[in-house]
């Protein structure tokens, strides 16, 4: 076997090995992604006991087989929460024929202060397509953990507190599958594109 042939075989072996490693890396990444992906909202809802801002059980029927934008926050939030809810409502009004075409789900991370009456009073200042959700703090945590939502109480003056929390909006298709996120401060054009893509699914 001459040197050129040996070199060709060696080069081919290196290329094949590299391709195999790439495939295995991709498959492993896919495995981790699926393993760490949130459960369908239809599955996690059945494992917790939450209520909407009218005091009714928050169940799969609440979603009415529509895509949803899920956001976690609290009513005493000074900026991020009210701005996010207002912006989402406005954008949905712009890109759809009806504000009821997409659910906006606002889950409080502060059930101690945000009972259904408080949520109802708070949400009257926004469009009517927002579903406020509250409940026991243990069930809230289970629900939030499904989307890897971070939050913590931070003491302020006068024995009061605020909450640091994840500010992403989680996009869910009409079948209950998580499809991606909208980041705090994301460009409006990008948000519109994401919402339009969400509407086309299923």
pLDDT at position 96, please? 80
Pair 131, 99: CB distance under 8 Å: no
* DSSP secondary structure code for residue 104 in this structure: E
Pair 161, 153: CB distance under 8 Å: yes
- Name the more confident of 142 and 16: 142
Band the pLDDT of 39: cuts 50, 70, 90: confident
Angle at alpha carbon of residue 63, lines to 57 and 66, rounded to 5°: 175
User: Quick one: which of 198, 67, 72, 43 has its CA closest to 132?
Assistant: 72
Band the pLDDT of 202: cuts 50, 70, 90: low
Q: Say whether 66 sits in a helix, a strand or coil.
A: coil
- Give this prediction's pTM: 0.80
Band the pLDDT of 42: cuts 50, 70, 90: confident
pLDDT at position 143, please? 94
Report the C-alpha gap between 169 and 148 in whole angstroms.
12
Instruction: Give the mean pLDDT of the chain.
Output: 85
């Amino acid at each position: 076997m001459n040197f050129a042939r040996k070199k060709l075989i060696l080069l081919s072996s290196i290329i094949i090995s590299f391709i195999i490693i790439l495939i295995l890396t991709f498959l492993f990444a896919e495995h981790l992604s699926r393993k760490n992906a949130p459960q369908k909202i239809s599955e996690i809802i059945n494992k917790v006991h939450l209520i909407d801002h009218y005091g009714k059980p928050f169940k799969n029927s609440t979603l009415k087989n529509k895509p949803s934008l899920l956001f976690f926050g609290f009513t005493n939030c000074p900026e991020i929460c009210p701005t996010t809810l207002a912006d989402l409502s406005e954008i949905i009004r712009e890109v759809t024929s009806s504000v009821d075409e997409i659910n906006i789900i606002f889950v409080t991370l502060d059930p101690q202060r945000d009972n259904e009456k408080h949520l109802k009073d708070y949400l009257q200042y926004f469009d009517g397509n927002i579903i406020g959700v509250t409940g026991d703090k243990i069930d809230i945590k289970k629900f939030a953990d499904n989307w890897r939502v971070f939050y913590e109480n931070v003491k302020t003056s006068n024995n009061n507190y605020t909450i640091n929390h994840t500010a992403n909006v989680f996009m869910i298709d009409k079948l209950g599958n998580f499809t991606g996120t909208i980041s705090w401060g994301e460009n409006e054009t990008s948000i519109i594109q994401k919402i339009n893509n969400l509407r086309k699914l299923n």
